């Protein structure tokens, strides 16, 4: 038996390197995206429990950002929809006017989307309580999209324009027409040059009152697969090693730290409104004893240990 589940593979040691190799091979294959989806399905990555967690994580975030920009009647651009259009669906439910969701790859599947809608349907009381949107309104909006028979119909009824393949750094939207630009676990997966282009495009399309919200996963993603390594493990490796094995179309992680992101935003004309981050004491402890690659010199252990950053900015 060769289980896919990371916890079981764990016992074999250095399992994250096996994942690096599999992703490296997949990235060189023409059907890489489809095979990646099959692996994700085998690993049950988008199960109902995980989906529910994501729904409530995003609701907490929407609640937190309401003081800067309401989602009611908002025009929103999402950078990097991914496999599950949870943020877009929640925005529709909470009354956004239009949601443009861009992705380089057309990952969204109808089946996964109806599963999100079912999860939302089971949690309407809690959603109403968190967001203060009356349950009767949520029920009414959910009814509109509940029985759709295709993704196209569903997105059209939910005012979601899914642009995939599409590039959020070249939206073709009018200047200063957008209230919120949003990304979740995207900016860590792209090159600095693409980050620059995305910031400049956000600056162009956001209204004066608009905001950009970026949630950035600054941790070694292989640590979720292999529990033997920490979230700072990847800071050991040289740029050469990391670029050769990990920077590919399936597993790209730029390893930029929060401090570097903030500098990039400010250099491109952004005003930082708020920054919230998370540090795990175990990572901090590990950093004090492990080898750290010279490319991360000049940053404190605390700066290096930040594994998640929520950055809100305006222009
Ligand atoms: C790791 S996934 C995260 C997806 C989703 N936000 C989530 O949290 O599940 C990053 C996604 O961003 C997309 N992406 C990266 N750069 C992009 C760009 N410039 N425009 C549109 N999508 C982009 C990738 O194709 C990928 O689907």
Q: What is the DSSP track for the chain? A: ----SHHHHGGGS-HHHHHHHHHHHHHTSTTHHHHHHHHHHHTTTT-HHHHHHHHHHHHHHHHHHTTT---TT-EEEEE---S--HHHHHHHHTT-SEEEEE-SS----HHHHHHHHHHHHHTHHHHHHHH---HHHHHHHHHHHHT-SSHHHHHHHTTEEEESS--TTS--PPTT-EEEEEEES-GGGS-HHHHHHHHHHHHHHEEEEEEEEEEEE-S-GGGGT-TTS-TTGGGGS-HHHHHHHT-STTT------HHHHHHHHHHTT-EEEEEEEEE-HHHHHHHHHS---GGGTT--HHHHHEEEEEEEEE-
pLDDT of residue 245: 76
User: Residue 294 falls within a domain, yes or no?
Assistant: no
* Candidate from 53, 57, 103 with most ligand 1 atoms within 8 A of CB, to mutate: 103
User: Residue 176 falls within a domain, yes or no?
Assistant: no
Q: Report, as an integer, the average pLDDT of 239-257.
A: 85
Mean pLDDT of the residues in the chain? 91
Contact 79 CB / ligand 1 (< 6 Å): yes
Which of 54-68, 134-148, 246-260 comes out lowest in average pLDDT?
246-260
Give me the half-sphere count of Cα atoms (radius 13 Å) on the Cβ side of residue 11. 5
pLDDT of residue 104: 93
Closest residue CA from atom 7 of ligand 1: 82
CA-CA distance, 274 to 305, in Å (whole number)? 19
Give the chain's domain count: 1
Contact 190 CB / ligand 1 (< 6 Å): yes
User: Residue 64 falls within a domain, yes or no?
Assistant: no
pLDDT surpasses 90 at 12:
no
User: Residue 134 falls within a domain, yes or no?
Assistant: yes
Contact 86 CB / ligand 1 (< 6 Å): no
User: Residue 250 falls within a domain, yes or no?
Assistant: no
pLDDT tier at 43, thresholds 50, 70, 90: low
Supply the range of the domain harboring residue 106. 46-53+88-166
Ligand 1 atom nearest 87 alpha carbon: 6
Tokens 């009354």, located at residue? 95
Per-residue pLDDT of 65-78, as tens digits, reads 999 999 999 999 99
pLDDT of residue 225: 83
Contact 168 CB / ligand 1 (< 6 Å): yes
User: Residue 36 falls within a domain, yes or no?
Assistant: no
Closest residue CA from atom 5 of ligand 1: 82
pLDDT of residue 38: 72
Q: What percent of the chain has pLDDT over 70?
A: 91
Ligand 1 atom nearest 102 alpha carbon: 21
CA-CA distance, 23 to 40, in Å (whole number)? 12
The answer for residues whose C-beta is within 8 angstroms of residue 130's C-beta and 6 or more apart is 56, 59, 60, 63
User: Residue 299 falls within a domain, yes or no?
Assistant: no
User: Residue 145 falls within a domain, yes or no?
Assistant: yes
Cis peptide before 165 (omega within 30 of 0): yes
């Amino acid at each position: 038996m060769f289980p896919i589940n990371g916890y079981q593979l764990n016992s074999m040691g250095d399992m994250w390197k096996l994942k690096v190799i599999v992703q490296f091979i997949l990235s060189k294959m023409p059907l890489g995206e489809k095979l990646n989806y099959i692996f994700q399905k085998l690993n049950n990555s988008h199960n109902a429990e995980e989906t529910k967690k994501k729904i409530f994580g995003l609701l907490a975030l929407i609640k937190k950002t309401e003081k800067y920009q309401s989602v009611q009647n908002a025009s929103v651009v999402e950078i990097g929809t991914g496999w599950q259009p949870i943020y877009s669906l929640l925005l529709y439910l909470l009354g956004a006017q239009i949601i443009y969701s861009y992705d380089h790859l057309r990952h969204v599947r109808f089946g996964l989307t109806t599963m999100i809608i079912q999860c939302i349907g089971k949690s309407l009381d809690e959603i109403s309580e968190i967001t203060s949107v009356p349950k009767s309104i949520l029920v009414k909006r959910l009814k509109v999209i509940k029985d759709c028979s295709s993704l196209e119909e569903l997105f059209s009824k939910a005012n979601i324009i899914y642009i995939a393949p599409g590039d959020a750094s070249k939206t073709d939207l009018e200047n200063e027409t957008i209230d919120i630009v949003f990304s979740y676990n995207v900016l860590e997966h792209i090159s600095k040059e693409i980050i620059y282009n995305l910031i400049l495009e956000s600056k162009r399309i956001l209204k004066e009152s608009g905001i950009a919200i970026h949630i950035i996963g600054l941790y070694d993603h292989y640590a979720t697969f292999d529990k033997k390594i920490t979230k700072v493990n990847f800071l050991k490796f040289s740029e050469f090693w990391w670029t050769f094995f990990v920077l590919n179309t399936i597993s790209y992680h730029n390893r930029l730290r929060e401090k570097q992101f903030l500098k990039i935003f400010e250099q491109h004309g952004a005003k930082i409104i708020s920054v919230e981050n998370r540090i795990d004491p175990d990572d901090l402890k590990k950093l004090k004893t492990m080898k750290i690659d010279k490319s991360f010199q000049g940053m404190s252990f605390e700066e290096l240990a930040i594994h998640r950053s929520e950055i809100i900015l305006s222009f």
